[in-house]
C-alpha cells in the first residue's frame, strides 16, 4: 500500500471559470483581496460560487463535472506569466516533452527502462503529460499532438496491462486506486482526444478492477482513506462514462467515512484518527482522506451529487480537532505517520504541507468562520516554517495551493495564528501533544488497541520501539530535529524517552501493518487542557520487559517517572533520557544532578544518578547521510527487577535555568513511584497529579480503582479535579482529596455524588463509556 503518490494527486486547486476545452487560466483578474474576479453565482448554503461554462448546458451536469474536475485538478487563481508559476509550468512542459519524445510503445513497456506493469511510474507520466496539455504556460498547452500521444499511451497501457479480465499482480492499491486514478485523470484532462471507443474500453477496465460491489461493505481495505480514494476513482469513472448512477454511488459510499467511531478505522471524538485498525495516521492516510474529501466537496458543490450528509461536519471539525494538534510550525509530527516516517528527509514537513493544502481547499466549502480561522492557522504555520518554507517547497502539483497560500500571506486582513498553548490528549490513539511558550512535545505509546509500530512494503523496518514512550520535543529553532535524515541515522534502540530491552531484533520484527499491540490497557491519562498527567503500562516489544511510565506535562518542564522496570531477556535495559540530532556541547554535573545541552535544553536528575552519555556520528539510508547525535541514557542493568527513574526535561532551558531548577529539589515533589501509583506535586503551580495503576492513596489523593487524577489549584480560592479511566473499564469511581472544600461550583454529567467539608469525595458513574476522556469538576476551597 505505497501511498506516496496519492498526496500529490489529491492536493488540488480551486474552481475557475473557463469557456473552452482548454482552460484559459493565464490571465485571471483579481480583486483587491486577491480573489478571482470572475462572474460568479452565489451557491446556496455555502456563500461560495458555482461556475458557469459557456457552451455547456446546465442540463448536462456530468459534463459540468468534467470541466469542474479539470479546473480543480489543474489549479487556478494564479498568473501563468508570473513567477514562480512561469518557471514551474515551463518545467512541467519540458518534462512532458521529454516523456513524449521518449515514448516507444512495445509489448512490454511504454518507455524503455519502465517494464510493465509499472503501475505507478508509467501512469504518472501519462498524467503529467496530460497536465502539460491542460495547464497554461507549459509550451504544450492545447497541443493536439501531445494529447494524441497521451491517448495512445493510455490505450496501449490498457490493452497490455490494465485490461478488463486481467489479474492483479502485487499490491492491490496500485490496481484499484493508484493506476485508475492517474489514467482517469489523464483521460479527463485531454477530453475528446481519447475517443469514445478508447474511453469506453478504459471504463470497462476500471469496472473490472474496481467493481461497484467494492463499495458495498465498509470493511477490509475499503475504509477511511482507502474508501475516499475508491470513491474518487468511482466518480472519475462516472464522469468519463457519463453515468449519473455511478456518480450517485460515489457520493453515497462516502457516508460511512463521516461518523465518529469507537474502534477500528476513522475519526474518534477525542481527535484521534486511525487507519489499519491500530495505527494513528493523521500524517499520511488522514491527510490523504482530508485532501480527497476537500476535492470532492469542491467539485460536487452545486451539482445534483453535492455531498449533503449532515455527518460531513465531522470532517470540518477534524481540521482543528484532529489535524491541527499534530502539526507543529507546518510540520506533521511523525508520531501519527505510521510506516511513512523514514521515506525521505523532511517528510514531516511535506506531510504538514499536504495537510495545509487540504485545509485551504476544504475552506472553500466551509463556513466563513471556519475558513477564517483555518486561513489564519495555515498562515501562522507558513510563516514559522523556516526550515522548509511552504511556498518554496510547493511542487508543480501544488499550484492551486501555492496561489491560495500566497493570497492569505499577502492579505493583511488575515492575521497569522500562533501556536496554541495547552495539552491535547488523544487517548484512543495513545498519543499526547503538549504546547507551552517556546516549546512543544509529542508522546507516542502502545496499548492493547494501538500497535508499537507499523512496517510494511519494506518501510520502517526498525521502528520497533516508537510505541515504548517515545518523547519528541521541539524548542525554538529546532523544527527540523526529526526531519533531516533522523530516521535513517538514529540508533533505533535509543529513541528519546523510551524504556527498552537492548535485545537485538531483526528488521521488520513482528507482524506487518501495525499488528503489534501489547496487552497493556492502562495507557492514557487526564488533562485539564493546560496541564496533563499521562501514563503507560509498558510491555516491551518482542521482550519480557514490563514497566510503568508516567509523564507530567507542565509550563516549562516534563516530569518523567519510571517504576517496576523488570525484564528477563538476558541483556541490559535502558531508559533513554534523550537522543538529540546535534553536535552541540553537553555539560554534565552528576554531583548536583543536572545536564545541559547547549541551544537545546536541560535535564535534572536526583543527585548522584549516573547519567550515561555518548557523542557519535551515525550514517544510514540510501543517501548514506551522516548526522551527529548526543545521547543520554540510564542503564538499569541486565535483567533488572523493579528498577526506576526520575528526571525532569526542560525544553529550551538555558544553562543558568537548568542549574537553578536542580538547586530547587522541592519544585517538583515525587509523591509515589511504584507499580501501584506514580504521582507528583508542584506547589508553585498548584498541581497534584497521580496515575493510579491500582486503587490506593498518594499524597492528599486517593482513588477506589485504577485511574488518572489531576488537581489544579487556581490561586483564587477554586480548584479543578480532572479524572479519567484510561482502561475504559470503570462502572464507578470514587476519588478523595484530603483538602477542605466548601462546595462544588461546576459538576460533570457523570458525577453521581459529592461530599464536601474537611475533605472532598467525588463519585463518578460509568467512565468506561468515555473513551479514556477527561472529566473535570470545579470546586470552591474551604
Q: How far apart are CA 10 and CA 327, in angstroms?
A: 19
Contact 261, 272 (CB under 8 A): no
Decide if 2 is catalytic.
Answer: no
Q: How far apart are CA 387 and CA 482, in angstroms?
A: 12
Phi/psi of residue 268, each to 5°? -110, 155
Question: Residue 117: is the preceding peptide bond cis (ω within 30°)?
Answer: yes
C-alpha cell at 423: 495539552
Which residue matches cell numbers 517547497? Answer: 393
Alpha carbons within 13 A on the beta-carbon side of 310: 0
Phi/psi of residue 176, each to 5°? -105, -20
Q: Which residues pair with 485 in a beta bridge?
A: none
Contact 400, 36 (CB under 8 A): no
Among the options 268, 285, 645, 647, which is catalytic? 285
How many other CB atoms sit within 10 Å of the CB of residue 642?
12
Which residue matches cell numbers 469513472? Answer: 237
Nearest to 244 by CA among 56, 60, 62, 57: 62
Longest CA span, the chain = 88
Which residue matches cell numbers 475508491? Answer: 230
Among the options 67, 99, 276, 596, which is catalytic? 276
Burial of 20 (0-12, 13-18, 19+ CB in 10 A): exposed
Q: How far apart are CA 515 and CA 235, in angstroms?
A: 32
Provide the angle, in degrees to the nearest 10, between the axes of the packed helices 347-362 and 368-384. Answer: 160
Contact 562, 473 (CB under 8 A): no
User: What is the distance of C-alpha 162 from the center of its chain?
Assistant: 32
C-alpha cell at 389: 518554507
Q: Which residues contact residue 604 at a Cβ distance below 8 angstroms, ignoring those fewer than 6 apart?
A: 593, 594, 647, 648, 650, 658, 661, 662
End-to-end CA distance of the chain: 60
Contact 727, 521 (CB under 8 A): yes
Q: Which residues contact residue 695 at a Cβ distance below 8 angstroms, ignoring those fewer than 6 apart?
A: 703, 704, 705, 706
- Three-class secondary structure of residue 296 per DSSP: helix
Decide if 645 is catalytic.
Answer: no
Element (H, E) at 678: strand 677-682
Contact 2, 457 (CB under 8 A): yes
Burial of 193 (0-12, 13-18, 19+ CB in 10 A): buried
Give long-range contacts, CB 8 A cutoff, 24+ apart: 658-667.
658/594, 658/595, 658/596, 658/601, 658/602, 658/603, 658/604, 659/592, 659/594, 659/596, 661/557, 661/594, 661/602, 661/604, 662/589, 662/592, 662/593, 662/594, 662/604, 663/592
Q: How far apart are CA 331 and CA 351, in angstroms?
A: 7
Note the helical H segments in 410-485. none
Among the options 226, 385, 579, 775, which is catalytic? 226
Decide if 276 is catalytic.
Answer: yes
Residues with a known catalytic role: 226, 276, 285
Amino acid at each position: 500500500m505505497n501511498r506516496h503518490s496519492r498526496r500529490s494527486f489529491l492536493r488540488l486547486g480551486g474552481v475557475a471559470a473557463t469557456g473552452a476545452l482548454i482552460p484559459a487560466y493565464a490571465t485571471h483578474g483579481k480583486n483587491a483581496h486577491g480573489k478571482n474576479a470572475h462572474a460568479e453565482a452565489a451557491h446556496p448554503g455555502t456563500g461560495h460560487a458555482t461556475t458557469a461554462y459557456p457552451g455547456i448546458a446546465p442540463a448536462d451536469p456530468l459534463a459540468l463535472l468534467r470541466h469542474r474536475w479539470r479546473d480543480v485538478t489543474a489549479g487556478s487563481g494564479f498568473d501563468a506569466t508570473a513567477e514562480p508559476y512561469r518557471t514551474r509550468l515551463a518545467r512541467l512542459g519540458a518534462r512532458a516533452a521529454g516523456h513524449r519524445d521518449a515514448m516507444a510503445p512495445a509489448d512490454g513497456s511504454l518507455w524503455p527502462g519502465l517494464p510493465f506493469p509499472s503501475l505507478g511510474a508509467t501512469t504518472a507520466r501519462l498524467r503529467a503529460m496530460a497536465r502539460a496539455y491542460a495547464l497554461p504556460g507549459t509550451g504544450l498547452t492545447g497541443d493536439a499532438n501531445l494529447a494524441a500521444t497521451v491517448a495512445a499511451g493510455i490505450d496501449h497501457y490498457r490493452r497490455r496491462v490494465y485490461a478488463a479480465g486481467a489479474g492483479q499482480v502485487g499490491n492491490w492499491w496500485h490496481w484499484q486506486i493508484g493506476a485508475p486514478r492517474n489514467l482517469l485523470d489523464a483521460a479527463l484532462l485531454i477530453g475528446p482526444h481519447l475517443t469514445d471507443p478508447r474511453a469506453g474500453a478504459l471504463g470497462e477496465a476500471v469496472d473490472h478492477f474496481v467493481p461497484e460491489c467494492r463499495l458495498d461493505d465498509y470493511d477490509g481495505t475499503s475504509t477511511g482513506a482507502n474508501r475516499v480514494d475508491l470513491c474518487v476513482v468511482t466518480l472519475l469513472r462516472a464522469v468519463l462514462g457519463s453515468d449519473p448512477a455511478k456518480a450517485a454511488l460515489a457520493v453515497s459510499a462516502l457516508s460511512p467515512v463521516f461518523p465518529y467511531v469507537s474502534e477500528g478505522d476513522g475519526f474518534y471524538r477525542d481527535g484521534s484518527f486511525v487507519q489499519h485498525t491500530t495505527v494513528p495516521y493523521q500524517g499520511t492516510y488522514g491527510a490523504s482522506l482530508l485532501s480527497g474529501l476537500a476535492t470532492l466537496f469542491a467539485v460536487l458543490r452545486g451539482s445534483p451529487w453535492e455531498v449533503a450528509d449532515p455527518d460531513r461536519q465531522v470532517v470540518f471539525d477534524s481540521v482543528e480537532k484532529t489535524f491541527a494538534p499534530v502539526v507543529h510550525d507546518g510540520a506533521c509530527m511523525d508520531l501519527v505517520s505510521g510506516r511513512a516516517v523514514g521515506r525521505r528527509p523532511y517528510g514531516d514537513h511535506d506531510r504538514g504541507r499536504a495537510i495545509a493544502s487540504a485545509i485551504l481547499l476544504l475552506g472553500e466549502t466551509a463556513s466563513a468562520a471556519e475558513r477564517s480561522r483555518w486561513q489564519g492557522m495555515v498562515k501562522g504555520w507558513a510563516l514559522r516554517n523556516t526550515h522548509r518554507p511552504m511556498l518554496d517547497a510547493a511542487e508543480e502539483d501544488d499550484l492551486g495551493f501555492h496561489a491560495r497560500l500566497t493570497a492569505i500571506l499577502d492579505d493583511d486582513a488575515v492575521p497569522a495564528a500562533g501556536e496554541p498553548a495547552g495539552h491535547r490528549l488523544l487517548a484512543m490513539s495513545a498519543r499526547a501533544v503538549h504546547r507551552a511558550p517556546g516549546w512543544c512535545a509529542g508522546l507516542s505509546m502502545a496499548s492493547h488497541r494501538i500497535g508499537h509500530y507499523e512496517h510494511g512494503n519494506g518501510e520502517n523496518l526498525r521502528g520497533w520501539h516508537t510505541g515504548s514512550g517515545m518523547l519528541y520535543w521541539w524548542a525554538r529553532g529546532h523544527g527540523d530535529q526529526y526531519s533531516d535524515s533522523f530516521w535513517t541515522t538514529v540508533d533505533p534502540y535509543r529513541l528519546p524517552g523510551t524504556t527498552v530491552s537492548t535485545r537485538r531484533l531483526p528488521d521488520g520484527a513482528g507482524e506487518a501493518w501495525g499488528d503489534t499491540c501489547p496487552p497493556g490497557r492502562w495507557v492514557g491519562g487526564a488533562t485539564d487542557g493546560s496541564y496533563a498527567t499521562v501514563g503507560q503500562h509498558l510491555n516491551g516489544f518482542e521482550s519480557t520487559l514490563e514497566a510503568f511510565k508516567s509523564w507530567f506535562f507542565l509550563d516549562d518542564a516534563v516530569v518523567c517517572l519510571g517504576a517496576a522496570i523488570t525484564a528477563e531477556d538476558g541483556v541490559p535495559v535502558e531508559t533513554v533520557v534523550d537522543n538529540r540530532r546535534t553536535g552541540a556541547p553537553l555539560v554534565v554535573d552528576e554531583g548536583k544532578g543536572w545536564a545541559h545541552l547547549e541551544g537545546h535544553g536541560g535535564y535534572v536528575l536526583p543527585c548522584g544518578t549516573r547519567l550515561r552519555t555518548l557523542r557519535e556520528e551515525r550514517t544510514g539510508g540510501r543517501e548514506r547521510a551522516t548526522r551527529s547525535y548526543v545521547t543520554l541514557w540510564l542503564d538499569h542493568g541486565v535483567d533488572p527487577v523493579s528498577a526506576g527513574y526520575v528526571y525532569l526535561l526542560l525544553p529550551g532551558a538555558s544553562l543558568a535555568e537548568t542549574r537553578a531548577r536542580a538547586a530547587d529539589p522541592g519544585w517538583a515533589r515525587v509523591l509515589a513511584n511504584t507499580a501501584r501509583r506514580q504521582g507528583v506535586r508542584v506547589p508553585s503551580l498548584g498541581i497534584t497529579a497521580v496515575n493510579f495503576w491500582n486503587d490506593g492513596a498518594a499524597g492528599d489523593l486517593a482513588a477506589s480503582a485504577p485511574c488518572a487524577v489531576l488537581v489544579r489549584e487556581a490561586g483564587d480560592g477554586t480548584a479543578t479535579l480532572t479524572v479519567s479511566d484510561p482502561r475504559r473499564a470503570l462502572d464507578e469511581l470514587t476519588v478523595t482529596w484530603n483538602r477542605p472544600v466548601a462546595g462544588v461550583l461546576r459538576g460533570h454529567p457523570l458525577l453521581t455524588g459529592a461530599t464536601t467539608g474537611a475533605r472532598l469525595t467525588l463519585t463518578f458513574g460509568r467512565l468506561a463509556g468515555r473513551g479514556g476522556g477527561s472529566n473535570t469538576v470545579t470546586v470552591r476551597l474551604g
